[in-house]
Amino acid sequence: MKKIAIFGVGLIGGSFALALKQAGAVQQVVGVGRTAATLERARALGIIDVACTSVAEALAGAELVLIAAPVAQTGAILAAIAPHLQPGTVVTDAGSTKGDVVAAARAALGAKVAQFVPGHPIAGAELSGPDAAMPQLYRGKKVVLTALPENTEADVERVAGAWRHCGALIHRLGAEEHDSVFAAVSHLPHLLAFGLVDDIARKPHAELLFQYAASGFRDFTRISGSSPEMWRDISMANQAALLRELDEYMAQLARLRGLLAEGNAAGLEAVYANAQQARHDWIKTIEAAERPATEGGD
């Protein structure tokens, strides 16, 4: 590609740009952001080549546009893009929710919605901003595309091809299915991690508790170091699905509390054993998928 434009040049957008540059898949990256300081830092780090405050200038000649801003900003960004979106330019996003993004795209783009291919890279870190960007972030990671009926296969493939240049594996889901899945395996765990750390931090003896928190606590709560703004937006955008998952989890907690209150050691162990086996099976599946194929067999 000769030119791409990225709205949001932090961890997600910045890593996308660096990966494409490293792969030799793009000649020029234009960055658009909320603050001049962030854009200047991205340029200093070699993430972008040009910093733009003009949407028209950013889109002129761009073959691909990535929106990598918090999901609550997607509608406003698409509305700003719409008047300048020319035939031949494909727009995609990196938002962690898709139902709200698709609705925002239809409202903002109208007939041009065919040029918008919704996406979600399943990768990240607890750090944010241009300094957190890394070209290897997406290697071996999944990117879910929730293509619209209006999208052409060529436009979907342009987005998929860009992610493949980043080393990603392409998967496809419907928007509603996507939001249901990620409410369970991503959005709920983040809510729980934030809630646990907040609960401990508010206790009168919080300093003592944190003093003795070790690797298990660190591993369980790592994701609570993520951007509060981003996860506020994700939680609200996927409110209905997240509430369903939270209600089911609260029922599970009530079940565990009941077993503990009853002194039902066997019942607790059964839950723990089932969880342990499920996790072991999941890890084996991941390891098998990531294991390179052996040429010629053995």
pLDDT in tens, the chain (298 residues): 999 999 999 999 999 999 999 999 999 999 998 789 999 999 999 999 999 989 999 999 999 999 999 888 999 999 999 999 999 999 999 999 999 999 999 999 999 999 999 999 998 776 778 999 999 999 999 999 999 999 999 999 999 999 999 999 999 999 999 999 999 999 999 999 999 999 999 999 999 999 999 999 999 999 999 889 889 999 999 999 999 999 999 999 999 999 999 999 999 999 999 999 999 999 998 888 766 544 333 3
Choose among 96, 165, 123, 134: nearest CA to 14.
134
pTM: 0.86
Q: Crossing angle of helices 239-262/265-290, nearest 10°?
A: 140
Which residues contact residue 1 at a Cβ distance below 8 angstroms, ignoring those fewer than 6 apart?
A: 20, 25, 26, 27, 63, 64, 162
Contact by Cβ (8 Å): 6, 16: yes
How far is CA 283 from its chain centroid? 21
Question: Which pLDDT score, from 0 to 100, does residue 50 have?
Answer: 95
Residue 211 tokens, joined: 């003093």
Question: Which pLDDT score, from 0 to 100, does residue 127 have?
Answer: 72
Question: Which pLDDT score, from 0 to 100, does residue 292 have?
Answer: 55
How far is CA 207 from its chain centroid? 32
Dist CA 191 CA 218 (whole Å): 16
Evaluated on CA atoms 32, 36, 37, 41, the torsion sign reads positive
Contact by Cβ (8 Å): 58, 47: no
Question: Which pLDDT score, from 0 to 100, does residue 228 have?
Answer: 92
Question: Which pLDDT score, from 0 to 100, does residue 7 have?
Answer: 97
Question: Which pLDDT score, from 0 to 100, does residue 124 have?
Answer: 76
Which residues contact residue 241 at a Cβ distance below 8 angstroms, ignoring those fewer than 6 apart?
A: 179, 180, 183, 187
Residue with tokens 């925002």: 104
Helices (H), 24-90: 36-44, 55-59, 74-81
Contact by Cβ (8 Å): 245, 188: yes
Helices (H), 45-174: 55-59, 74-81, 99-109, 153-165
Dist CA 78 CA 69 (whole Å): 11
Choose among 21, 41, 37: nearest CA to 29.
21
Please give the torsion angle defined by the CA atoms of residues 197, 200, 201 and 203, in that order, rounded to the nearest 10 degrees.
Answer: 160
